[in-house]
Structure 1
């Protein structure tokens, strides 16, 4: 789905909202995203950021799963400095 369809009635430009959601998905808290956007001159509440994140996640379908869903791993022991 196109981001513009999800956020057509928002006052914040789509690239800013996408950037905020990406920051949150990379591990920043909602309040850290607010602080980062403030450094860039964008004044939005933590509630707005939370809404952007949840609006986008609800509009996106689940990512595809890998096939096969199980992977075998072979182990190898390596000795370093006698350990």
Structure 2
């Protein structure tokens, strides 16, 4: 997450927009990562589309949204 934050922090926008962009980027990145994992592994084992939503949703919400907020809170960016 530190690389994502350094990328967002280098942009010339307001601090509030940086925080919002960081949360969006982490949520989307972890959601896409979960979808990619489902596409590679879960497609053979768990082929239903509901599993795709699980593989995308849980990492996006817990690691992306909550993890990004906790990262910002621990590093006193908020």
Same fold (TM over 0.5): no
Normalised by the length of structure 1, the TM-score is 0.29
Larger radius of gyration: 1
Q: TM-score, normalised by structure 2?
A: 0.30
